[in-house]
Amino acid sequence: MSETLPSAGPSLGEMLLATVPMARTLNLEFVETGAERAVVLLPDQPDFHNHVGGPHAGAVFTLAESASGAVVLAAFGDQLGRAVPLAVRAEIAYTKLARGPVTAVAGLGRPAAEVVAELDAGARPEFPVEVSVHRSDGAETARLTVVWTLRPNS
């Protein structure tokens, strides 16, 4: 597992589970949380199935959005003293029927240094995070783009 926080304290995944109730509700597993990539697993849970026996679209969206948030916090956690990361908008495409456990892989759509340079220049930068969701056979079941911002603290 790749973590960006010191090993002496809780991992980024543990911190997200402690502070984001929906992540705990869905029993998300933060497999990898790095500044360039985050991987989050949604276990197969009948309580969160839809009418065709796969994970509900809302659960898949939450999985993907949580993976995007993990990579954002890993990439910009050192900026939290001066800016708060916020999701601005999102678009999702459900591409295949999901069954069983599904995994979301998120990556920054712009270099973190470029985003921080905009923040340094007094702007409120926006940047995309691209997420791909796969079932255990490797088939992609959804694609999500979340546009985030770093809103400077008042």
How crowded is the C-beta side of 116, counted as CA atoms within 13 Å? 13
Largest CA distance in the chain: 50
To the nearest whole percent, how much of the chain has pLDDT over 70?
Answer: 95
pTM of the model: 0.91
- The fold of 12-152 is Thiol Ester Dehydrase; Chain A (3.10.129)
Q: Which of 15, 99, 108, 16 is nearest to 62 (CA)?
A: 16
CA quadruple 11, 108, 126, 28: dihedral sign: negative
Summarised one tens digit per residue, pLDDT across range 69-90 is: 999 999 999 999 999 999 999 9
Summarised one tens digit per residue, pLDDT across range 88-120 is: 999 999 999 999 999 999 999 999 999 999 999
